[in-house]
Amino acid sequence: MDASAPEVVMGSAEEAVVRRFYEEMNNDRKNEIAAELFSSDHEMHDPQVPGGPGPAGMAAAIAAYQDGVDGHWNIEEMFSAGDRVVVRWTGTGTHVGEMNGIPPTGNTIRVDAISIHRLADGKIAETWQVWDTLGFLQQLGAVPTS
């Protein structure tokens, strides 16, 4: 973890589930644990990240970024209230595979994002996400920067 980043203190069972999503599934490339983390009817609310419902949909969506930009997800902040866990995270990587129809450029990628996860029965049941899609496309060279 970046020494300048604020320390994230895990304070609840819900936060532990969400932390496993970012650290184990995403960063450690353990997409096979998706069924442990997501409900069978999980819904992703992010028009920029197409994926089907449930654990398989999330595994497919994450794999696109794992493969396309050798993605790494860094939790900058995490907090929870009730059945919601909010994460401010940074995605980084190198454009090594086709991404959104764009052939690999070798460009370095960095995007900021915020996700809100709703948990039910110990699993992530719904996710709302916003991230710097324009910046991502500019870094891939698909959209002009000026």
Residues 73-93 have pLDDT tens digits of 999 999 999 999 999 999 999
pLDDT of 59 strictly over 60:
yes
Contact 54, 120 (CB under 8 A): no
Contact partners, residue 5, CB within 8 Å, separation at least 6: 74, 76
pLDDT of 37 strictly over 50:
yes
Q: Percent of the chain beyond pLDDT 90? A: 84
Phi, psi of 80 (to 5 degrees): -135, 155
Q: Which of 47, 46, 48, 20 is nearest to 34 (CA)?
A: 20
Contact 71, 92 (CB under 8 A): yes
Per-residue model confidence (pLDDT) at position 49:
81
Q: Which residues, in sequence order, are bridge partners of residue 75? A: 89
Residues 3-21 have pLDDT tens digits of 555 444 445 899 999 999 9
Per-residue model confidence (pLDDT) at position 1:
46
